[in-house]
A and B are shown apart, each in its own frame.
Chain A
Amino acid sequence: RKEVEQDPGPFNVPEGATVAFNCTYSNSASQSFFWYRQDCRKEPKLLMSVYSSGNEDGRFTAQLNRASQYISLLIRDSKLSDSATYLCVVKAGNTGKLIFGQGTTLQVKP
């Protein structure tokens, strides 16, 4: 089993749609959680950290469920510019290293 698993997609949605991505992790000792965004052939950039209480940044909402070991990202009112690959990232509890999921690809269509 992979340490961090995501549905690779692609998710094809129309502009204005709401889309949700899930991610599961295997190490219950994991401490920190993130969503990174990666545009085609570019480097990943931090989108948002994921806190236990859940957090929101504009159209983006991230949630963490420690009991079930999954993280979610909700994007409301999708824009064409949201088209990218979204990487779920978990900080390993005992090493401090970041573990990256394979990414979920989102295509927002006009």
Chain B
Amino acid sequence: DGGITQSPKYLFRKEGQNVTLSCEQNLNHDAMYWYRQDPGQGLRLIYYSQIVNDFQKGDIAEGYSVSREKKESFPLTVTSAQKNPTAFYLCASSIDRRTGYTDEQFFGPGTRLTVL
């Protein structure tokens, strides 16, 4: 089955700890994205990557870091510098907009992070 997987589904961490959220896709998509969703709000873009070994900051990148060493994987690290990390984190992928046929983004099931 092709798709995007995120793990874990729920994550609890103590304040001050870094935590890494996993995102894997087997859709052969070039572009991958990380969003954050807070209650009653739309999705906000944290980071995105259009090709391996390259990524750009989104609108709310402070306190987060990413890597794109493989096409299939785009892990997100929430660092202790993120002031309010408790949120629903969504990973998405899409065909590269430079060459692709669609703007559609496919989402993983998300990770709910709670910082205690």
Contact = CB atoms under 8 A, between A and B. Distances in A.
Interface string A82-105: 000001000100001111111100
A46 B97 CA distance: 17
Contacts of B88: 41
Interface residues of A, number: 21
Given A32-B103, A91-B103, A102 B42 contact: yes
Label chain A's interface by main secondary structure: strand
Contacts, number: 43
B27 to A, nearest CB: 14
Interface residues of B, number: 20
Contacts of A8: 40
Contacts of B41: 102
A98 B103 contact: yes
Interface of B: 35, 40-45, 48, 58, 88, 90, 97, 103-110
